[in-house]
Amino acid sequence: MKAIDLFAGTGGFSTGATRAGVEVVWAANHWPDAVHWHQLNHPGAQHLCQDLHQADWSMVPAHDLMLASPCCQGHSRARGKTHGNPQHDASRSTAWAVVSAAEYHRPEFILVENVPEFLGWQLYHPWEAAMNALGYSVAPHIIDAADHGAPQNRVRMFLVLAKSKAPLMLRLQTQPHIPASTFIDLSNSNKWSPIEKPGRSAATLRRIASGRRQFGDRFIMPYYGSGSGLTGRSLNRPIGTITTRDRWAIVDGDRMRMLNRFECRAAMSFPDTYKIPDNHRLAVHMLGNAVCPEPVRNIINALQQAA
């Protein structure tokens, strides 16, 4: 099976597909940094750096499977979804590139990844109708990455599009959760700082005190935001969602630090050999935007079995 990857980003979709035995022959993104690192990790694929609204689909190789992860920021509650926001409207419109590519190539299967709020998009039903008109059924699957091989709670929507009359609902077997302790390196001596230091915010100290009451002297907590903000998280469970900027802090006794980029890579279920930028901020941004490879592998394996 051959695949192309639209909005390929850091390469999570491509990596999961490769692990499932699929050959990724083409990948595209509008962000030069993402294309650069995708090419380093997937040198066998052709690469294009372009706004996919303007793509010439006749230049794209033949394929059996289209992978697409259109921009999610216009749908995500985490980014303050706003009607009439030009930036969000533009990001939502990237989904129409999937229709354009499908109209030209008509691959046997298409997988689209996004946040679950994509299903509530005002234009979702017209988008789905367009795919139906091209002969595709659409089957939404809402999954948590932690149930499918990633050590991270990350709820995402995967649309399975197939040339079938009835929607193709996959039989996805859940897996035991992988705890955060499997990838956090407490022996790493870099970047630790004392908890009790001048300038530490009162909110951070309250989070730490609450976490200690729940889990003792060693746990994870978000450095900002909601979610596990008041209770922290045990190292014996998956970490929370990896975002595009530093979010998760490790507390160990009287010291703390943020996750490093290698721990973020592992939390996303990329292999240790996957190349990422030396620049921490860029690496975290790219990883937070990525698709978790391990759930993708499981989805594609189930798709191949159902085909």
Q: Which helix (H) or strand (E) holds 158?
A: strand 155-162
The closest of 196, 120, 116, 100 to 156, measured between CA atoms, is 116
* Helix ranges restricted to H, 54-123: 86-92, 96-105
Q: For the ranges 60-64, 157-161, 184-188, which has the lowest average pLDDT?
A: 184-188
φ, ψ of residue 143 in degrees (nearest 5): -130, 155
Helix (H, G, I), strand (E, B) or coil at 121: coil
d(CA 226, CA 246): 14
pLDDT > 90: percent of the chain: 82
φ, ψ of residue 151 in degrees (nearest 5): -80, 50
Tell me the β-bridge partners of 4: 26, 66
Average pLDDT of the segment spanning 66-81: 65
Question: Domains plus CATH for the chain?
Answer: 2-177+275-306 (3.40.50.150), 185-258 (no CATH)
Name the one residue in this structure whose structure tokens are 């109708």: 129
Contact by Cβ (8 Å): 134, 103: yes
Q: Which helix (H) or strand (E) holds 301?
A: helix 293-306
Average pLDDT of the segment spanning 221-236: 77
pLDDT band at 87 (very low <50, low <70, confident <90, very high): very low
Between the alpha carbon of residue 107 and those of residues 59, 103, 197, 215, 302, the distances in Å are 15, 9, 58, 50, 18
Name the one residue in this structure whose structure tokens are 């507390």: 251
What average pLDDT does the structure give for the chain? Answer: 91
Residues 6+ apart with CB under 8 A from 213: none
Would strands 137-144 and 109-114 be described as parallel, antiparallel, or unpaired?
Answer: unpaired
Contact by Cβ (8 Å): 137, 165: yes
Average pLDDT of the segment spanning 97-104: 96
